[in-house]
Chains A and B, each alone.
Chain A
Amino acid sequence: MQNSAPIRVKVWRGDAAGGAFAAFDVPQQPAQTVLDVVTWIQRHAEASLSYRFACRVGMCGSCAMMVNGVPRWTCRTHVNKVMQDNRLTIEPLRNLPIIKDLVCDMSQFFEKWKRAEGHFSGQGSRDQAVAAISPSEPARRAANAAIECINCAICYAACDVVAWNPDYLGPAALNRAWSLQNDSRDRRHDARLQAVSSDGGCLSCHSQQGCATYCPNELNPTASIAGLKKMATGSFIGKKYRQRHG
């Protein structure tokens, strides 16, 4: 259903203090992606437009933006799949402070990653044998199902609990924590469980599955968070039982 009319594109421009939409008419091209559209605008219409990209082949997640109100990798979003009446609206990712135009400040995303103890802590060394973990073990399968996250923040932008609760760690950080809780080589399971089940942790998730709906890697942070909820409540009840029965 391609026609030769130009695409009417609204692009958000501004910074942390505020901004507005700027309109551009962009020529249509075969197999055009939204990243192609943004690039065309910066090269031919408005040189001062700021935006992020890197690999442009759907591997790095740098080009994530809101396209017609939905968070997407712009390099993997074909214009003819999302255009409505020859119109496109492009904005920076939701739920993150804006630096300039389509570039948002990812610091809080990574701060929460750290707060959730989203890093591996082992105690092995090169002198020990490689850990013998079968890929078909349930814990390893759970970790593998969650492990392909590339920190693009699309789930963070999609999540309404992130929007409503500034303390909420968010789907990506919690998803990573879950993959590490299932890594039998990791030695900080207790500390990490504490970190993800306190205020703003996994218990705040309302299972809306916006994260799973929009994750381009088809991960399901809601499923990971449900796993963390079970771990947290199980651990709490277990502790109370042991306290009472010695």
Chain B
Amino acid sequence: MVELRLYLAQRISAAIMAPLVLVHLGLMIYAIQGGLSAEEILARTRGSLLWGSFYGLFVLAVATHAAIGLRNILSEWLQLRGPLLSLICWLFGLGLWALGWRAVAAVVGTQ
């Protein structure tokens, strides 16, 4: 029942991200005024357990969600199947996760 597990993982990660996206959109619209500066962003995120957890969870959910979405696209539009399809999607998902948590560490970690 691989398909059912992938289906549920994608819907559940979507549901988890719903409030996160809302906050992120709101934050972007708030923060963009007057331009973006490292100082403004880091002042909010440096040493923040709240933003660290928020974006840490966001990255995990989006890596799962995007990898499964990509799987659908590759199999339906490029007719990829089997181990190659799984390999590409796992690499993409793990890559997003790694890059994403690196980004979180970059803006939350204190120096």
A residues lining the B interface (CB < 8 Å): 161, 164-165, 197-199, 201, 203-204, 232-233, 236
Considering the chains assembled together, what is the distance between the CA atoms of A232 and B4 in angstroms?
8
A-B contact pairs, 11 of them (CB 8 A): A164-B77, A197-B1, A197-B3, A197-B4, A198-B1, A199-B2, A203-B3, A203-B7, A236-B1, A236-B4, A236-B8
Q: Does B53 contact A (CB under 8 A)?
A: no
Tally of A-B Cβ pairs under 8 angstroms? 27
Considering the chains assembled together, what is the distance between the CA atoms of A187 and B2 in angstroms?
26
**Residues on B with beta carbons closer than 8 Å to the beta carbon of A204:** 3
Main SS class of interface, B: helix
Contact between A198 and B3, CB atoms less than 8 A apart:
yes
Contact between B4 and A233, CB atoms less than 8 A apart:
yes
1/0 contact string of B46-68 vs chain A (CB within 8 Å): 00000000000000000000000
Name 6 extra pairs, CB < 8 A, besides A197-B1, A203-B4, A204-B3. Answer: A164-B77, A165-B75, A165-B76, A232-B4, A236-B1, A236-B4
Considering the chains assembled together, what is the distance between the CA atoms of A153 and B79 in angstroms?
24
The minimal Cβ–Cβ distance linking B17 to chain A, given in whole angstroms, is: 18
Main SS class of interface, A: helix
**Residues on B with beta carbons closer than 8 Å to the beta carbon of A164:** 76-77, 79
Within 8 A of A (CB), among B4-20: 4, 7-8, 11
Most chain B CB inside 10 Å of its own CB: which residue of A164, A165, A198, A233: A164
- Chain B interface category by residue count: 10 to 19
* Closest B residue, CB atoms, query A166: B79
* Closest B residue, CB atoms, query A237: B8
Contact between B76 and A199, CB atoms less than 8 A apart:
no
Within 8 A of A (CB), among B70-98: 75-77, 79
**Residues on A with beta carbons closer than 8 Å to the beta carbon of B8:** 233, 236
Considering the chains assembled together, what is the distance between the CA atoms of A161 and B7 in angstroms?
16
Contact between B3 and A199, CB atoms less than 8 A apart:
yes
Considering the chains assembled together, what is the distance between the CA atoms of A236 and B1 in angstroms?
10
The minimal Cβ–Cβ distance linking B64 to chain A, given in whole angstroms, is: 16
**Residues on B with beta carbons closer than 8 Å to the beta carbon of A236:** 1, 4, 8
**Residues on B with beta carbons closer than 8 Å to the beta carbon of A233:** 4, 7-8, 11
**Residues on B with beta carbons closer than 8 Å to the beta carbon of A232:** 4
Considering the chains assembled together, what is the distance between the CA atoms of A232 and B1 in angstroms?
11
Considering the chains assembled together, what is the distance between the CA atoms of A198 and B2 in angstroms?
8
The minimal Cβ–Cβ distance linking B22 to chain A, given in whole angstroms, is: 23
The minimal Cβ–Cβ distance linking A145 to chain B, given in whole angstroms, is: 24
* Closest A residue, CB atoms, query B73: A164
**Residues on A with beta carbons closer than 8 Å to the beta carbon of B4:** 197-198, 203, 232-233, 236
* Closest B residue, CB atoms, query A161: B76
Considering the chains assembled together, what is the distance between the CA atoms of A236 and B77 in angstroms?
29
Considering the chains assembled together, what is the distance between the CA atoms of A186 and B62 in angstroms?
41
The minimal Cβ–Cβ distance linking B79 to chain A, given in whole angstroms, is: 8
Considering the chains assembled together, what is the distance between the CA atoms of A233 and B79 in angstroms?
26
* Closest B residue, CB atoms, query A204: B3
Considering the chains assembled together, what is the distance between the CA atoms of A165 and B76 in angstroms?
6
Most chain B CB inside 10 Å of its own CB: which residue of A199, A203, A236: A203
* Closest A residue, CB atoms, query B1: A198
